[in-house]
Amino acid sequence: MDPSIQAGVDIQHSGSPQVAHEIVKVTVAYLPAPVPFRHVFRDETVIATVRIDALTFFGVQDHQDRDKHEFFLEFEGRRLTNMAETLGQLLGPHRREAHFNLIEEITKGAIDE
Amino acid sequence: MTAIYVPIDRWVVAARVFSLTAENLRRAGRDGKESGILWLGRRDKTAQITATAFPSGTGVEECPGHWRISPEVFGTVTRWAAPRDLCLLGVAHIHLRGVPARLSRTDRNCGVQIPGILEVIIGDGGDQLDYRKWSWYVCENGDYHQMSKAEIGKRLTVDHSIDFESCTVNAESVLFSTEAQ
């Protein structure tokens, strides 16, 4: 298995039939990182969870020093702002894969040099 | 910091990275503005810097006192770099003539805080062509430290035969791209 793939979904293999949750293969690229974050999520997973898991994988976090540093997910060239949206809502019923970019935004603080 | 960031001992840099950096940044320098460029490549104990991404136009601020690119520009670069297995290894920008070629507090604070990332300041508005006279900083332990001339000599190698590719980007798209050559 690719070491950058993290298992996240418990697929039931027991005898009794299960109501299948749709799963989505997610890839997140972060420009300074040599490998992407890859993870399989259920489609009801909210974007906030994908973002937090990607931040953890890449070892970065939102923070404030002189400036405000925030990370956002970009999907198909647009910034995702609704963190409560699910992957299913974002992708629609048929898409089972999604590629995001993780990008840092630095908002200048009040203290100027 | 996570294990995905292999500690970098040395950098091998395609010679074209330096010449294209100078070509792109001097234009702004001669107009009295700061400008910058991203260096990309493959990260390993010996990292290879084999590509440049030059931000230009929408989403890029080139001003006398600062150079800044929007997050959307980083998005465009990411979309160009990811399929090529390239990651960000450094950022070079110019300081104008009369401004010390050293990392300012703003440069330090707004730099990419990932171990091993280079921040390079080119003095004299980009007219300083000798890379050994540029100011080289590397991010280590959450801050940037300036490399001495001896350290630069020890950790940096210029390679004239290594493949090189480049692009020019703005906040919306890749404006120009070359393939590896």
Is residue A34 a part of any domain in this protein?
A: yes
- Residue A50 falls inside a structural domain: yes
A12 in a domain, yes or no?
no
Assembly ipTM = 0.94
Give me the number of domains chain A comprises. 1
For residue A113, being part of any structural domain is answered with: no
Query: pLDDT tens-digit profile of B5-43?
Result: 999 999 999 999 999 999 999 999 999 999 999 999 999
Cβ contact, residue pair B105, A113, below 8 Å: yes
Range of the domain at A91: 21-107
The verdict on a CB contact (< 8 Å) between A33 and B4 is yes
Q: Which fold has domain B19-168?
A: Cytidine Deaminase; domain 2 (3.40.140)
Query: How high does pLDDT run on average in chain A?
Result: 84
Q: What is the CATH number of the domain that holds A41?
A: 3.10.20.90
Q: Report which of A59, A61, A50 is spatially closest to residue A25, judged by C-alpha positions.
A: A50
- Kindly determine whether residue A29 and residue B78, on different chains, have CB atoms separated by under 8 Å: yes
How far off is chain A from B115, nearest CA to CA, in Å? 10
Low-confidence ranges of chain B (pLDDT < 50): none
Residue A14: inside a domain, yes or no?
no
Q: For residue B95, which residues of chain A lie inside 8 Å, CB to CB?
A: none
* Res A93: pLDDT: 85
Q: Do B4 and A4 touch (CB under 8 A)?
A: yes
Nearest to A57 among B2, B72, B79 (CB): B2
Q: Please tell me the predicted confidence (pLDDT) of residue B53.
A: 98
Q: Count CB pairs under 8 A between chains A and B.
A: 72
Residue appearing with tokens 């910091």: B1
The enclosing H or E element of B131 equals none
Candidate from A9-13, A98-102, B98-102, B160-164 with smallest mean pLDDT? A9-13
* Confidence band of A67 (pLDDT split at 50, 70, 90): confident
Q: For residue A65, give Cα distances in angstroms to A11, A12, A62, B131.
A: 42, 45, 10, 32
Q: Where are the alpha helices (DSSP H) in B31-165?
A: 71-81, 105-110, 149-155
Question: Could you tell me if residue A38 is inside a domain?
Answer: yes
